[in-house]
Structure formats: structure tokens, C-alpha cells
Chains A and B, each alone.
Chain A
Amino acid sequence: MTPKFSHSLSYHESAKLQTAYLPALIGAMIFLVIFAGFVPGFNSWKQNSVILKQRQEINSVLSSKASMLTSLDSTELQSKLDLATKALPIKSPYRQTLAAMSVLADRHKIIVDGLEFIKQGEGLGIKIIAAGTYPDIYSFLQAVENTLPLASVNVVNLNVRSAASDFAEKTYSAELNFSFYFQSSPKTFGKLTEKLPVISVVGEKNLRELQGFEFFDLKSAALSVDGSNRATKLFPD
């Protein structure tokens, strides 16, 4: 005869709970923890990490900018800026141009027969009808290219004026077209969070080169080499 086993009702309930409800409950808890706790937490951490990274990058730029600005010598910066704005003024440099023309024409014994301003896109165009010997015209052209504001000679049209046999005495009439450059100041000075621009090695070299260029203002033009008030005569107000 086979022995029979009987189980109480409470044992069945307990077993049922253990085998079916408890895993389901734990599963639900895991689901809840993952979707209500971990996922939002992970998203929040991820978002915060991105914000922190951006902020750290900005801080790094700001920090280098602040230290660079602190290390800049105000006097040196001002003198460099003065030189750069003399080389490339922010306004049309007609006064400085007239002064330069006056002093240089006087210095290189050039007779200015006519002067005309020509509108140009990025510079102040000047056409000069001048007269002088070839060495004087040549040295005048060289001098103009070594003055501030920066200038370039675009056209030289030379015509013989007096037929002297001696080369040094032969005079020419020259139509000379120059461009004196200027550039208006930038519309914005960059964002606060932008890096400061860097002056390149070439820029530093050119700054040193520009120091050797001559600059004339109307005052220096009025007090020309021979002491005469040539600038006032040549270019009356």
C-alpha cells in the first residue's frame, strides 16, 4: 500500500507565494528601481556632466584670458596700439597723407603741380602730378612707401620735362598714384567667452619694422625741414 501525504492549506499558500508572487514582486521592484530611480538618475548625471564639462571649458578660456590680460603691460600695449593705428588708421587718413606728401615733397625737392583724392574701397587714393629729377622722384617714392599710414604706389607715369644731357639734371613730370590704407575698428570686440586673439611672430616682426617708418602730422608738416610754412602754402585749410 502506497503511503499518502496530505498538505495543509497554509503550506500550499506559502509555497504559492514563494513560487509565484515573491519573484513577481521582486521583479516589479527591480523594474521600478531601474525606471524610476536609475534611469532618471543616470540622465541627470549625464546632463550635469555635459554642463560641467562646458563650464570647465569656459572657465579654462576665461582663466587664460584673465591671466593674459593681467600680464599685458598697459604702457606697452598702448604704444603698440598707437603704432598700429598710425600704420592703419581707423578713419580716412587724409590729414596725415597731406602732411606726409608735404614734408616728403619738400625733403626730396619734388614740385607738386597737382593733387587729387580718388575714392577707393579700402584706402585713400591720391593722384599727384609732381616734377623733379629722376633720383629725387625715386627717393620720394621710396620714402612714401616707408611712411605711416601704410601706402603703396600703384601707378607711375613718367614723362620727360627738360631734355638735359646730364641724367641727374634731367627733370621729369610724374603722375603718381598712391593708396593710403585705413581700416575702421571692429564692430564687436569678441565674446566674453572667446579666446583672445594672438599676435603672431610675423605680427611682432612687422610691428618692429613699422617702428622704422616715418609718421607725419599737420604740425610736423607745418614745421618742415627748411623751416618754411610749406604745408600751409601747399595745402591751405
Chain B
Amino acid sequence: MPMKNIINLLPESAVEGSRRLSIFKTLQTILIAVAMVCLVLTIGIWSLSLITGREIAVANLKSKDLEEQIAAYSKKEQQFYLLTHQLDKANELLNSRTQIEKKLNTVMTAFPPDANLLSAKIDASGQNISVKFLADNFEKMVKIVTAAKTKPFSLVKVNDFFRNATGQYLIDLTVELL
């Protein structure tokens, strides 16, 4: 009798039972495979962890060695820190300094040479300069005012102006250096 016919003769529950058993066997195989993979992964990850732990120990030893090397140069290190600390500030000062003598020189040279400068007040932080002149005559006084209105100056205000008993003119100006 052919096999197919024999199976057909089996009750429905027995065929169903065999099919289920086959499914369960496949499932078991899959589960066992998953379990094996998990086991291998676990062993792998622990091995990696151990290797990393050993690398940390090596790195710690190297670190200690480097720290000892640096400690041997502690004087040099301190000198270098101090050098950069002072140099940073020195750079800042050198780059921000305003050379006031240049402003002074402008005041002394830009006004007419025959103008009699009595006083000049220059502040490094500001642009304004106070100047006081004594002029022998009106023409000279006009020349001074004209110079105060001409580049590199801009006339801010006339603080004081008078003619004394000897006929000389005194003028007190505030000019801005352009």
C-alpha cells in the first residue's frame, strides 16, 4: 500500500499532532540557534570588556610615566605659564597704546609757526585737545582759528577770547583731532 494512502488512513488529530510537532521542532532549532548566538555574543562582549580593561591598565601606566616626565620639568612648566601670562597682557597693552606724543606733535606743527602756543592739554583717551594761543595781532589770531577749523583739526568750541591791554589777542580753543 502506498504511504500516502496510509497517512490518509490516520485520524485527523494524529496528522495535526505530527504537523505541530514539526513546527515545535523547528521552533526549538531556532531557539537553540538564538541561544547559541546569545552565548557567543555574551562571551565576545565579556572578552572585549576584559581587553578594554587591560588597555585601561596599560594607559594608566603610560599616564603615570608621562606625569612623572612632566613633573621633572615642573620648573620649566611654571616658567612657561608665567611667560605666556605676562606676554598676553603685554600684547594687549602694546596693541592698545595710543601714542600721545603724535597728538602733541600735530598740535605743535599744524598751527601757524608764528602762533604763540601758551598751553595745550591732551588726554590719551579722548580726541579733544585744549589749546591756548596768544596772537600779536588780529590777522595772526584769524590764522589760528582758520587752522583750528582745517584738517587735521575740527573746531569744537571757543572757550575764551579776549584782547589785553597791550593789544594782544588771547584765544582758548577746544579742537578735535580728526
- Is A51 in contact with B25, judged by CB distance below 8 angstroms? no
- Is A154 in contact with B101, judged by CB distance below 8 angstroms? no
User: Which candidate, A94-102, A109-117, A179-187, A220-228, is the interface stretch facing chain B?
Assistant: A179-187
Which of A18, A44, A49, A203 contacts B87, CB < 8 Å? A203
- Is B93 in contact with A181, judged by CB distance below 8 angstroms? yes
- Is A186 in contact with B89, judged by CB distance below 8 angstroms? no
- Is A48 in contact with B49, judged by CB distance below 8 angstroms? yes
**Could you say which residues of chain A place their CB within 8 Å of the CB of B91?**
200, 202-203, 206
- A212 on the B face (CB < 8 A): no
Mark contacts of A79-97 with chain B using CB atoms, 8 A cut-off: 1 yes-contact digit, 0 otherwise.
Answer: 0110011011010000000
Which of A3, A37, A42, A78 contacts B9, CB < 8 Å? A3
- Is A183 in contact with B86, judged by CB distance below 8 angstroms? yes
- Is B49 in contact with A41, judged by CB distance below 8 angstroms? yes
Mark contacts of A8-37 with chain B using CB atoms, 8 A cut-off: 1 yes-contact digit, 0 otherwise.
Answer: 000000010011001100110110011001
Which of A15, A34, A88 contacts B90, CB < 8 Å? A88
What is the total number of residues of chain B having a CB less than 8 Å from a CB of chain A?
74
- Is A141 in contact with B52, judged by CB distance below 8 angstroms? no
Which of B14, B89, B98, B118 contacts A160, CB < 8 Å? B118
- A156 on the B face (CB < 8 A): yes
- Is A19 in contact with B21, judged by CB distance below 8 angstroms? yes
- Is A209 in contact with B94, judged by CB distance below 8 angstroms? yes
- A153 on the B face (CB < 8 A): yes
Mark contacts of A172-216 with chain B using CB atoms, 8 A cut-off: 1 yes-contact digit, 0 otherwise.
Answer: 000000000101011001101000111110110011011000000
**Could you say which residues of chain B place their CB within 8 Å of the CB of A72?**
73, 76, 80
- Is B124 in contact with A155, judged by CB distance below 8 angstroms? yes
- Is A186 in contact with B81, judged by CB distance below 8 angstroms? yes
Q: Majority SS of interface residues in chain A?
A: helix
- Is A84 in contact with B86, judged by CB distance below 8 angstroms? yes
Smallest CB separation, B116 vs chain A (Å): 7
Within 8 A of A (CB), among B61-110: 62-63, 66-67, 69-70, 73, 76-91, 93-95, 97-101, 104-105, 108
A150 CA to B82 CA, complexed, in Å: 17
Closest 9 pairs between A and B when the two form their complex, measured CB to CB: A48-B52, A37-B42, A62-B66, A41-B45, A45-B49, A69-B73, A26-B31, A55-B59, A141-B101
Task: Other than A141-B104, A157-B122, give 14 A-B pairs with Cβ distance below 8 A.
Answer: A5-B11, A18-B25, A23-B28, A26-B35, A29-B35, A38-B41, A84-B87, A85-B86, A88-B89, A142-B101, A145-B97, A155-B100, A198-B84, A210-B90
Residues of B within 8 A of A (CB): 9-11, 14, 17, 20-21, 24-25, 27-28, 31-32, 34-35, 38-39, 41-42, 45-46, 48-49, 52-53, 55-56, 59-60, 62-63, 66-67, 69-70, 73, 76-91, 93-95, 97-101, 104-105, 108, 113, 116-125
Name 17 interchain pairs, CB-CB below 8 A, sorted by A: A15-B21, A18-B24, A19-B21, A26-B32, A26-B35, A42-B45, A70-B73, A78-B79, A142-B101, A152-B98, A157-B120, A158-B117, A158-B122, A183-B86, A198-B84, A203-B84, A209-B94
